[in-house]
Amino acid sequence: MMYLRWIGCGCFPANNRGRGLKSEIDSGGEDVFDSAAMESAEKPDHLVVMVNGIVGSAGDWKFAAEQFVKKLPNQVIVHRSESNYAKLTFDGVDLMGERLANEVLSVIKHRSGLRKISFVAHSLGGLIARYAVGRLYEQTSEANSLDPLSRTGSEKGDRIAGLEPMNFITFATPHLGSRGHRQFPILCGLPFLERTASQTAHLAAGRTGKHLFLVDKDDSKPPLLLRMATDSDNLKFISALHAFKRRTAYANVNYDYMVGWRTSSIRRQNELPKPDLLATDPKYPHIIHVEHGKMDNVSCKPISTLVVDENTNFEEEMIKGLTQLPWERVDVSFHKSKQRYVAHNTIQVKTYWLNSDGTDVVFHMIDNFRL
């Protein structure tokens, strides 16, 4: 475990370490905060939960967590989750989501004064976080008679783990799974390789592999990711996402060999921005396009009402479900970077000396964070 943390820490200049920053092991993860702010009369009241991806650890978010607290010392406490690390990330999205939910509840129990909550997740961590918020979702009694997707602003009093949900942010997350259509780019879009990957994913990544390639059939239910694109059973996945003031998906346009552009940005092929529309912001040189949320005009029907068979277009059903809510899409390109071949990790600055070019992406996330 200590080895994983050391690897995740990276190696970055001493001036990147804030003098007032403090870290504490807490509830299976690590809390990062400004020590002076915690001793003031008004302590930070916004909990930011950071979630790692497959075979990752809490150390993956070390750089971003420290930048968060340095920029917003009086506003946030960052919790780097570690309930799902290394081989535990093969246990399946549902089991990992349950573990994350329990970890979050434990953090809140031991931290007084918290009022708001946000999630920042990388890769598989985005799916784990989506499951966890469905588990932690609390609908206020005053709003029970209203359609949860029709409520906005002051009408929306729903809570996540008893706190006001603010930001739900993912980086290179396979929201539509990894099945076919170049969603798992390392397979080069070759039909034979994509079929083989779907059939053998469980051998390499256990239940998680089945979930990612949508071949799980627990109790004859539809694939888990399909169920997570709506309010299903007793878990209100879409209502939970809707409770957040802001939902943002950062996506690599190219050179991400683990997660394709479409699945990480929740788009159909014809909805991807055209190359001639992409522009570079000098402040954030690797952010090439920002699309503010729009939602499809569809109704939120429970997955149980759908006839799911071999002819069902799983990807289209997931897009319809998830785009009932407005998402901000942030398209990222490291095309001119020497670190482009590790874009999947560079987008979150997993290890500073290998992924430092993603610093502007992390700062873009912090600068646009809703407090």
- Both tokens assigned to 171: 């980086």
CA of 183: how far to CAs of 174, 237, 260, 278, 359, in Å? 8, 22, 4, 21, 25
pLDDT of res. 181: 66
Q: Is 333 left (phi over 0), alpha (psi -120 to 50) or beta?
A: beta
pLDDT of res. 37: 85
Q: Distance between CA 224 and CA 58 in Å, rounded? A: 25
Length of the chain: 371
Q: Distance between CA 29 and CA 331 in Å, rounded? A: 30
- Both tokens assigned to 353: 């000396």
pLDDT of res. 183: 74
| 305 Cβ neighbours under 8 A, 6+ residues apart | none
CA of 370: how far to CAs of 72, 128, 360, in Å? 11, 22, 18
Backbone angles phi, psi at 284, to 5 degrees: -130, 80
pLDDT of res. 17: 45
- Both tokens assigned to 272: 């991807």
Q: Distance between CA 351 and CA 356 in Å, rounded? A: 7
CA of 242: how far to CAs of 143, 156, 194, 208, 327, in Å? 14, 9, 33, 25, 10
> DSSP character for 230?
S
Widest Cα–Cα separation across the chain: 62
Q: Which residue has the tokens 């939960």?
A: 49
Sorted by where each begins, the domain ranges of the chain are 2-367
Residue-by-residue pLDDT tens, the chain, 371 positions: 444 444 444 444 434 444 588 888 876 789 998 988 888 878 899 999 999 999 999 999 999 999 999 999 999 999 999 999 999 999 999 999 999 999 999 999 999 899 999 999 999 999 999 999 999 999 875 555 455 555 554 346 899 999 999 999 999 999 999 876 677 666 655 465 556 556 666 666 789 999 999 999 877 889 999 999 999 768 999 999 999 999 999 999 999 999 999 999 999 999 999 866 677 788 999 999 999 876 554 445 555 455 566 657 899 999 999 999 999 999 999 999 999 999 999 999 999 999 999 999 999 999 999 99
Residue 336, burial from CB neighbour count under 10 angstroms (0-12, 13-18, 19+): exposed
Strands 164-171 and 116-122: what pairing? parallel
| 292 Cβ neighbours under 8 A, 6+ residues apart | 326, 328
Q: How far is CA 112 from the centre of its chain?
A: 25
The answer to whether 118 and 46 have CB atoms below 8 angstroms apart is: yes
Global pTM value: 0.88
pLDDT of res. 16: 41
Instruction: Domain 2-367: give its CATH superfamily.
Output: Alpha/Beta hydrolase fold, catalytic domain (3.40.50.1820)
| 268 Cβ neighbours under 8 A, 6+ residues apart | 262, 316, 319
The answer to whether 228 and 319 have CB atoms below 8 angstroms apart is: no
| 167 Cβ neighbours under 8 A, 6+ residues apart | 48, 118, 119, 120, 244, 245, 246, 247, 248, 369, 370
CA quadruple 318, 324, 330, 334: dihedral, nearest 10: 10
- Both tokens assigned to 33: 């905060």
